[in-house]
Amino acid sequence: MISRRHFLAAGLAASALAACRPARAAPAFDARVRADGRGSHATLAAAIADAPGDGRVPYRILVGRGVWREKLVIDKPNLHLVGEDRHGSVIDFDAAAGMARPDGQAWGTWGCASVIVRAPDFRADSLCIRNSFDYVGNLAAPRFEPIGPNGAQAVALMLDQGADRSHLRDVTLTGHQDTLFTEAGRALFERCVVTGSVDFIFGAGRTRFEHCELQSRFRPGKPRQGYVAVPSTPASQPQGLVFDQCRLTREAAVPDASVALGRAWRPGRSFADGKYGDPAALGSAVFLSCWMDAHIDGALGWEPMAYTARDGQRVMLEPRDARLYEFDSRGPGAVRSPSRRWLRAEQAATYSRAAMFAGWSP
């Protein structure tokens, strides 16, 4: 007969053994989209539609290898897209601002993005988001107005109103004009690649890039090849676009001194007395310890940008009237000149991750 003491000892040993066993791992993904048919959903849109709306826990979607031609709106919180292959898992669409939506109206800059985020705590890892509109072909045979909101702007990713605490790692964003529209909330990009030509990183959000590559693409026949950072930061917001230890590179055909670091954007908005450039927008873009190739315009650095004033006149927002700075720039494009304003070390510290993201620890 087993004594009570032996019974208790055996029970304790069994409990201890059970405690040593690893807990059953939660499924790595809540949904899988795969080209080989072994996924849980046939499309990314279907997987997103099945995500819960409360966002209490992350909803992780595996993006399998392949080109997923979908135009996505992410309006549920805490949704994570994880690629199977950074270069092989591609979300792609080809809408330009001047193209017609299904209802016949133009997409516009605010609607043309391949992926639009309108909810907090979005994450993306190890994939590519692309707008494959034929920008160069449109230069040769224009289909749209050359400027304005209904032209050749073709956004890959937009962080729209409702987005906040967006976090992207090891993601490639590919486009030409207006590739990344970071309009709202706080966002962190780590080890990402952003390619484009005209105004290819722009918007009003509080957005930080760490160890990213910003690649300027070639525009045939254009003396000014493009602009990297074009912020429309509210004047009340202390930081806008911050690039920390990034590399500014180029396609081989992009000439020396042909790309500006950026320009400040004062977007038109509707007010009671008309539509004109928002006087509350005072763009902020800062490059911290970035390496710059020789395509960056050493003498000029930044350029002005036109907007419509309250009286209807077209006026220029000059770089000196915005918040456009550098600190510790390096490389052949890092030329010191009177038009390229540098921060002091103590000023640069106000653009740290902690200063930008108080209350959020990505």
Catalytic residue annotation: 178, 199
Whether the Cβ atoms of residue 173 and residue 157 lie closer than 8 Å to each other: yes
Q: Are 259 and 296 in contact (CB under 8 A)?
A: yes
Tell me which residue of 180, 306, 329, 308 sits closest to 244, measured CA to CA: 329
Task: Let me know if 312 is exposed, middle or buried by CB neighbors in 10 A (0-12, 13-18, 19+).
Answer: exposed
One-letter identity of residue 352: S
Which tokens sit at 13? Answer: 């040993």
Whole-angstrom distance, CA of residue 357 vs CA of residue 2:
62
Check residue 155 and report its DSSP letter: -
- CB contact at 8 A, 115 and 157: yes
Q: Number of C-alpha atoms within 13 angstroms, CB side, residue 27?
A: 11
